[in-house]
Amino acid sequence: MEWKFSENLIDYTEALEFMEQRVGEIIASRADDWSGTTQECVWLLEHPPLYTGGTSSKACDLLDARFPVFETGRGGQYTYHGPGQRVAYVMLDLKRRTPDVRKFVQDLEEWVILSLANLGVVAERREGRIGLWVAQPDGREEKIAAIGVRVRQWVTFHGVSINVNPDLSHYAGIVPCGIAEHGVTSLAALGVKADMKDLDEALQRNWGRIF
């Protein structure tokens, strides 16, 4: 397993090209009876401000294209990426693990739930809503992590994004994940003083508990 950490902002097209190449290499390595040297990979990074649309995106949910918009093959609808948000791109060979996409998504969710719990945040699933949510004392529920994956020949790519300290006003350009009745939050907005390094350490620490 390879872990990649990027401190600089990574262009979205660069990330896509890397994932496409790595996924292809992982698939090709199967021809050697699993003895290929291509490694599975988790890449933790930040992007410059942009919006991405998944396979279920609706044009009406793109309210103000103030940043570049990328249509991508991952699942889900529109989401925002930008500085202060940790994106985890996960490239795993489910054929060598458990060939079950639903379980993979649930495992990603549990990985993030455990990692955020280490930082003092209770993140929860909600029936019928993609992503992970934080319940506020006044009853409001706000999204702290988004999930959108793609699978090619049982190899995964794309992944999760977790709000550490992004500019939450940038979400105003979209209806995040097609859900208008709930807002978004971040570790900073919740008063949690954790930074990217703290989150990265928690994600690495909990990886082996799930995967």
Q: Per the residue annotation, which of 15, 177, 202, 203 is the catalytic one?
A: 177
* Contact partners, residue 109, CB within 8 Å, separation at least 6: 125, 132, 147
Task: Check residue 61 and report its DSSP letter.
Answer: G
Pair 207, 108: CB distance under 8 Å: no
Task: Check residue 143 and report its DSSP letter.
Answer: E
Active site residue 41: no
Distance CA 151, CA 61 (A): 25
Helix, strand, coil share of the chain (percent; to 5): 30, 30, 35
Task: Check residue 25 and report its DSSP letter.
Answer: H
The runs of H, that is alpha helices, within the chain are 12-29, 101-118, 196-210
Distance CA 143, CA 124 (A): 9
The encoded tokens of residue 65 equal 């294209």
The encoded tokens of residue 144 equal 């702290």
> Could you give the residue numbers annotated as active site?
177
